[in-house]
Structure 1
Amino acid sequence: MELSILMVERILHIHSCKLNEILIQLKYRHSCLNTCGLGLLNEFVSLLTLLAEVVTKTQQQNGPTISLIAPSTLAIYNDLKDEKNNVHYMTPLCTVLL
């Protein structure tokens, strides 16, 4: 999961005009990003970043303990509740995650 988020973050660091230029040169015009696509990718990263951090932390330990799981679960839940008011494109994903 973290790898997917990192890839999307890297794509978002490229200016959309430059990225679209490259896609057109490579004959992937159909993959060019518009405002909606950029918004969707930004919301994707915003919704899943905290979850990816928690997954990474729990995988680094031999056995995740309740002292890590409980606060992480609450943090994710509260973050998602806050994000639900701000998302436009990823509302279904936010709802499912909640």
Structure 2
Amino acid sequence: MRICRGTSDGEGTNLIRRLEKLEDDLKTYPESSQGAPISETAALAQKNSEATRVLAAQQEILEKELGEIQKVLLAMQDQQRKQLELILTSAKNGKMFESSKQASD
């Protein structure tokens, strides 16, 4: 009773106001505390979205580069095949030349 009635200088009413304010603050606390995780989650989602866009762009670049590398490798392989055919043809011609030379001797 003494707290509620207060003293002659009005401390009791001040305490009641402070308790009421504390109760009001506690009522709004869950709402404000839920707002913080939601905003943090939104910020993380934004960062993830940006990182995903960057990775997708890098993937496209790497796929293009890989395609170019494959073209170069195929062209090199074709050149090697042509060189091998030329070497084999030269070797056959050389053997034929030697065979015909030995036959004419």
TM over 0.5: no
After TM superposition, the score normalised by the length of structure 2 is 0.25
Structure with more helix by fraction: 2
Higher relative contact order (CA 8 A, sep 6+): 1
